[in-house]
Amino acid sequence: MNFDRLLPQILDLAALDKKALDAVAMATAKLSFYDWLVVSCAGSTEPLANILRDFIASEGGAAIATVTGETKKYPARAAALVNGAISHALDYDDTHFAYVGHPSVAIFPAALAAAEEVGASAGDVCQAFLLGAEASCRIGMVLGRRHYDAGFHQTATAGCFGATVAVALLYRMERSALSAALGLASTRASGLKSQFGTMGKPYNAGIAAANAIEACGLARRGFTSAADGLGGLQGFVLTHHPQH
């Protein structure tokens, strides 16, 4: 199966003129933002939230981004990790059944952390989310139900790529840098259904968000990656797309 057009399609998607985004789609993105905020607040008192906040507090770092349920700020990657897990803790977040995943819990935590880092607005976050969610859904649908049935948690795998697109847009990264970031995301994207029923399931969403911050942070500094780690030879799709 040939997936060499997937990466260019995702890069073209990220390059769309934000002024041309459909008004109804943008309204849905804003509703998703509200939904994410609610489930994040609801999950902020769960035991995993306390464990993760304690964990990142023990590491310290630059005070950049907000963590739900905490007054202090933390490095963007740490905040994305915790907020992703917290918002998926109760499993009431939005669901896209065509790609079998929860778009917001991977994308918004990463986008919000990046937005705080660069001083972007809530409107910018929603625009980035919309394009990131579209990327997640397209990649998730390419991976297909067999990817999910094989044991992969699409919220985390496909979600990582959507989060990377959203973060790259907020960082205002060039096409070549986003391509490199998606390549790095392809070697970091992870998440297994075997974690369902444990704290590991929402942790998967946090991993996706944190991976996006990491991949974009490295790529914008000139870190190199495979030319096409997404749909190319031995890329993510070919290695995670069961054929039988």
In 3-state terms, what secondary structure has residue 154? helix
**Long-range pairs of 173-176 with CB within 8 A, sequence gap ≥ 24:** 173/216, 173/219, 173/220, 175/11, 175/14, 175/15
Predicted local confidence at residue 1, as pLDDT: 61
pLDDT at 106 over 80: yes
pLDDT at 244 over 60: no
At 226, the pLDDT band (50, 70, 90 cuts) reads very high
Work out the average pLDDT over 36-45. Answer: 98
pLDDT at 242 over 80: no
Work out the average pLDDT over 55-61. Answer: 96
pLDDT at 243 over 80: no
At 190, the pLDDT band (50, 70, 90 cuts) reads very high
pLDDT over 70 percentage in the chain:
98
Q: Which helix (H) or strand (E) holds 73?
A: strand 73-74
| pLDDT tens, position by position, 107-159 | 999 999 999 999 999 999 999 999 999 999 999 999 999 999 999 999 999 99
CA distance 80 to 9: 26
For residue 206, which of 100, 104, 121 has the smallest C-alpha distance? 104
For residue 142, which of 154, 128, 127 has the smallest C-alpha distance? 154
Work out the average pLDDT over 175-192. Answer: 98
Q: Are the C-beta atoms of residues 205 and 52 closer than 8 Å to each other?
A: no
pLDDT at 67 over 90: yes
pTM for the predicted model, two decimal places: 0.97
pLDDT at 6 over 80: yes
Q: Which two tokens stand for residue 72?
A: 């202090």
| pLDDT tens, position by position, 77-89 | 999 999 999 999 9
Q: Are the C-beta atoms of residues 97 and 234 closer than 8 Å to each other?
A: no
At 241, the pLDDT band (50, 70, 90 cuts) reads confident
What is the rounded average pLDDT for all residues in the chain? Answer: 96
